[in-house]
Structure 1
Amino acid sequence: MNLALAISAAGLLIAGCSGSDGDGYTTPSSLCGIDVPADALEPVLPDGDSISASPTSSAYTKRCRLLIDAKPVFSAAVEWWGSSTTLQRVATDAIGVDPFDRATPDHNYIYSSTGAVGSVDCPNQKDLKGKIYVSVRTADATTEEKMKKFITSYSASVASSKECTRKWGQAQ
């Protein structure tokens, strides 16, 4: 596939756009097929003229990287972990967040100004034989509160998506 076609296809994956955020691009209302509130995503993205998405998947991870002006600036992932995995363990492996960063009182989210991890509460979690977590990171620091708003919104979006019924452990 040539580069122009690949970029066009990636642009289609961030379909469903919200209103303009004052930059040269329109903030997407989905990240590679997962709906996200634009009012949660827009504050964690930098200014720029154009935006595109680059999705990747493996047996246990679905990642969506956003590129602004052709530079990777944001990454969001949905990850399947073993049922005994803790949020702190996920934060240990995540980029942009540390297990000792701020946590919500319910201990479902850990976040910093550059990244966050969260637990996904799937309605049929018992059928997964594991646990789904989300992680995000940004190249440009934002505020902890903006990152917290995004990770909680993204986690809720994943919980209502097909990711909760996906057959994890198989390449997608």
Structure 2
Amino acid sequence: MTFAIGIAAVGCSSPPAEYSPPDSLCGIAVPARLLKAVLPAGQHISVHPTSSTWNKRCRLRVDGREAFSATVEWWGHDTTLRRVAEDAVAVEPFDEMTKDHRYIYSNTGAVGTVNCPNQGGLKDKLFASVRVTHDDAAESDMKKLITAYTESAASPKECTKPRL
């Protein structure tokens, strides 16, 4: 009987996060408080970077389970934000869009247009995306996170397109 009560008590509340969120997503700075707002509770967080010629992805796992992913990715010069949202996981092209048309966001994902400083010389556009693997993040928190991530990605390092 004690065993059943113990399980019921555990099932009713989730433990607080005991890890500290990183202050960057694989080299792209973001305030840790913005990540904390969208990440699930857990004991341990790990960072898993991957990249290819056209994108850079950063996955976060909490207690061994994928919880979050952030990507910066090159697209053709005429690509629209809605088109990027079409291919993105956890966000749809007609989710909330900011008045300046730079961000589309939902409670599970968001995409943003990166305004590279030397955009005039670029033939392609850089976009950023973030997503969570659960549905209890707030839209407003996802909007704040994609805004910070996109702004930080507008650096000379990220805005230099690889040459083939």
TM-score tier by shorter-chain length is 0.7 to 0.9
Aligned twin of 2:126 = 132
In structure 2, which of residues 107, 123, 128 is the aligned counterpart of residue 113 of structure 1?
Answer: 107
Which of 23, 26, 30 is equivalent to 1:29?
23
2:85 touches 2:111 (CA, 8 Å); kept in 1?
A: yes
Residues 63 and 78 in structure 1, CA contact (< 8 A), matched pair in contact too: yes
Structure number with greater Rg is 2
Name the % identity: 57
User: Aligned Cα RMSD in Å?
Assistant: 1.2
Is residue 2:122 matched to residue 1:146? no
Which residue, 59, 66, 69 being the options, matches 2:63? 69
Matches within 5 A, 1:15-26: 23-26=17-20
Aligned length: 148
Partner residue, 1:160? 155
5+ residue gaps, structure 2, are 1-15
1:4-23 residue pairs with structure 2 within 5 A?
23=17
SS in 2 for 1:62: strand
Which blocks of at least 5 consecutive residues in structure 1 are unaligned? 1-21
Whole-Å Cα distance in 1 between the matches of residues 120 and 33 of structure 2? 32
> Secondary structure in 1 aligned to 2:90?
coil
1:65 and 1:23 map into 2 onto residues whose CA distance is 18
**Partner amino acid, structure 2, of 1:46:** P
C-alpha deviation, 1:128, in angstroms: 2.4
SS at match of 2:149: helix
Q: Give every structure 1 segment of 4 or more consecutive aligned residues whose post-TM-superposition deviation is greater than 3 Å.
A: none
